[in-house]
């Protein structure tokens, strides 16, 4: 039985194309054929014997169906693009960071060989990360739905306007204010947009949702951490200005005045490959280059006499 994996690559850079071509060749010789989007395959300098060459596919959820893993070469944006394909198929994602921070990626360029070896040997673990389901309800009628791995953001559409909203948790009003927007993030997303906005970092093992007002004109406009089972709604003032729902910076839905955005924990998680056990603290320090000089750790107990 032929083993297959899907390769998603940020192919706009020449260096990435060379790296991707090397990965294709090594996996092919390791017994794994790669599916690659047809337009990206044209940019990769790959020459393999018949039966080992990559399989061209078209973008869509079916591209990941039946694959062992989705291998992502790029930054967090590339991984979020790949998550749209992997999530409905339940296929794990293995990210190799070829971008800048690459917080979601498991491997960096210097550990690319280890990542490829793990795929060939099937030697890895899989974490499940919670997601958000989002629905835009317009005057109690039409509903449009989408989802997010990192965050769902209801934000204003005009820079010079203020967005008036009321927050609701579990069917009860919490507070209202004028603002630039409101974020609802998962623990995974706590190191993304909400981190840049000054929100807290939540360890991935913590099951919670994070509500984060953006530039709110209010005394009570602090980040709020709530139960993952809570239902959140953000209502846009019917007498105010329109907004837009943006999920992971990729999927957008207009939110007219008077509409509400309903958010809840998603039923389908995103599955991320982990190559080794690593404390989340170490990941934070490494990805954000946090200063830890002077740390000596717990005192060593004295030797028994």
Q: pLDDT digits over 68-101, tens only?
A: 999 999 999 999 999 999 999 999 999 999 877 7
Question: At CB < 8 A and 24+ separation, what contacts does 49-54 make?
Answer: 52/28, 53/28, 54/7, 54/24, 54/28
Residue 239 and residue 163: Cα distance in Å, rounded? Answer: 11
Pairing of strands 260-265, 70-74: unpaired
- Winning range, highest mean pLDDT, from 1-5, 14-18, 150-154, 285-289: 150-154
Predicted pLDDT at 248: 97
Region 46-58: mean pLDDT is: 79
CB 92 within 8 A of CB 273: yes
Contact 170, 230 (CB under 8 A): yes
Extract the tokens encoding 298: 């717990």
Q: How far apart are the first and last CA of the chain?
A: 62
| 205-208 long-range Cβ contacts below 8 angstroms, 24+ apart | 205/280, 207/130
Q: Are 91 and 64 in contact (CB under 8 A)?
A: yes
Residues in CB range of 99: below 8 A, 6 or more apart: 10, 74, 75, 76, 77, 78
255 vs 157: CA distance, rounded Å: 10
Kindly list the domain boundaries of the chain, sorted by start residue: 3-129, 132-265
Cα angle vertex 94, ends 93, 96, to 5°?
Answer: 140
Digit-coded pLDDT (tens) for 101-138:
788 999 988 889 999 999 999 999 999 999 999 999 99
Tens digit of each residue's pLDDT (9 = 90 or more) over 176-222? 999 999 999 999 999 999 999 999 999 999 999 999 999 999 888 89
Residue 260 in this model has a pLDDT that exceeds 80: yes
Q: Indicate whether 49 pLDDT > 70.
A: no
C-beta of residue 105 within 8 angstroms of C-beta of residue 274 = no
- The reported pLDDT for the residue numbered 147 is 98
Q: How many helices (H) and strands (E) does the chain have?
A: 6, 19
Architecture of domain 3-129: 3-Layer(aba) Sandwich (3.40)
Provide the pLDDT confidence category of residue 43 given band limits of 50, 70 and 90: confident
CB atoms within 10 A of CB 79: 29
Handedness of CA 242, 247, 253, 255 (dihedral sign): negative
- H-type alpha helices, 5-89: 14-29, 38-41, 76-89
Cβ neighbourhood burial of 4 (10 Å; 0-12, 13-18, 19+): middle
132-265 CATH pick, 3.30.2270.10, 2.60.200.30, 3.30.1060.10, 3.40.50.1260: 2.60.200.30
- How large a percentage of the chain has pLDDT more than 70? 98
pTM of the model: 0.90
Helix locations, 97-235, DSSP H: 112-121, 193-196
Residues labelled catalytic: 76
Contact between 275 and 107 (Cβ < 8 Å): yes
């Amino acid at each position: 039985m032929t083993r297959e994996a899907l390769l998603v690559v940020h192919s706009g850079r020449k260096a990435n194309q060379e790296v991707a071509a090397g990965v294709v060749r090594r996996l092919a010789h390791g017994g794994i054929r790669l599916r690659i989007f047809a337009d990206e395959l044209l940019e990769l300098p790959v020459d393999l014997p018949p039966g080992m060459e990559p399989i061209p596919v078209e973008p869509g959820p079916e591209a990941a169906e039946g694959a062992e893993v989705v291998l992502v070469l790029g930054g967090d944006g590339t991984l979020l693009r790949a998550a749209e394909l992997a999530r409905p198929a339940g296929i794990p994602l293995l990210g190799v960071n070829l971008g800048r921070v690459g917080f979601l990626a498991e491997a960096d360029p210097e550990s690319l060989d280890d990542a490829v070896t793990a795929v060939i040997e099937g030697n890895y673990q899989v974490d499940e990360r919670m997601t958000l389901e989002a629905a835009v309800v317009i005057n109690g009628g039409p509903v449009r739905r989408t989802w997010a791995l990192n965050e769902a953001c209801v934000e204003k559409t005009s820079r010079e306007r203020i967005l008036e909203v009321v927050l609701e948790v579990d069917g009860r009003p919490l507070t209202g204010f004028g603002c630039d927007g409101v974020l609802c993030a998962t623990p995974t997303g706590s190191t993304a947009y909400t981190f840049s906005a000054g929100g807290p970092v939540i360890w991935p093992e913590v099951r919670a949702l994070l509500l984060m007002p953006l530039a709110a004109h209010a005394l009570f406009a602090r980040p709020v951490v709530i139960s993952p089972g809570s239902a959140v709604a953000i209502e846009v003032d019917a007498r105010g200005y329109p907004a837009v729902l943006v999920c992971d910076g990729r999927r957008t839905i207009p939110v007219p005045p008077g509409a509400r955005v309903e958010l809840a924990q998603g039923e389908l998680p995103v599955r991320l490959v982990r190559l080794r056990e690593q404390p989340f603290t170490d990941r934070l320090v490494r990805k954000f280059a946090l200063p830890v000089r002077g740390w000596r750790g717990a005192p060593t107990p004295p030797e028994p006499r």
